[in-house]
Amino acid sequence: MAYKYINNKNGFTLLEVMIAMIIISISLSWGLYYWGEYQSRLRLQSSVHNVLSFMERQQALANYLNQDRTLWLMVGQHWCLVSSITKVTDCNESDGELVNSPHEDVFLSFSTADRIDFYGIRNTAMPASFTLANSAGEISVVISGRGRIRTCSNTINQLPNCEGIKNP
């Protein structure tokens, strides 16, 4: 019985492995980049959701108790929104309820006023707007005189555009 030597080469060449690794690394770097942007956008939307919930609660309390509620805005990297009767200049010295960002990269970049008033009579408010931003973009919160609270963004596609809602 004679044994035949069959020279079948099973496996991959070095060139094939290198090409596969390059394709995989390009795909992973692209995916990680967009995953990071997605996470930044989620952090910004989460912060805006916290602020909206806080503001809607304060507005409901003003309407229910038929009294004025004043919210003070502290602009900057370490921002907060405080419900207080007296003017607050620092987030740490507040005596009322407050909300701030649970994420360090979200900051309050712009505000038309340093206070927002909700009036108990007819559920109205002092018109104002402010903008929360991070590396993913910015979201504006707009309060109308009739007490309507809306969000808009020129940089995030999931939200309405600010052109008809807010003056630049």
Per-residue pLDDT tens over the stretch 30-49: 989 999 999 999 999 999 99
User: Do the beta carbons of residue 139 and residue 44 sit within 8 Å?
Assistant: yes
What is the architecture of the domain spanning 14-152? 3-Layer(bab) Sandwich (3.55)
User: Do the beta carbons of residue 68 and residue 78 sit within 8 Å?
Assistant: no
User: Which has the minimum average pLDDT: 6-15, 113-122, 149-158?
Assistant: 6-15
**Cα–Cα nearest to 72, from 101, 102, 113:** 113
In this model, does residue 167 exceed pLDDT 60? no
User: Do the beta carbons of residue 165 and residue 152 sit within 8 Å?
Assistant: yes
Distance in angstroms between the alpha carbons of the first and the last residue of the chain: 91
Report d(CA 124, CA 138) in Å as an integer: 26
Structure confidence at residue 146 (pLDDT): 92
Q: Where are the alpha helices (DSSP H) in the chain?
A: 14-65
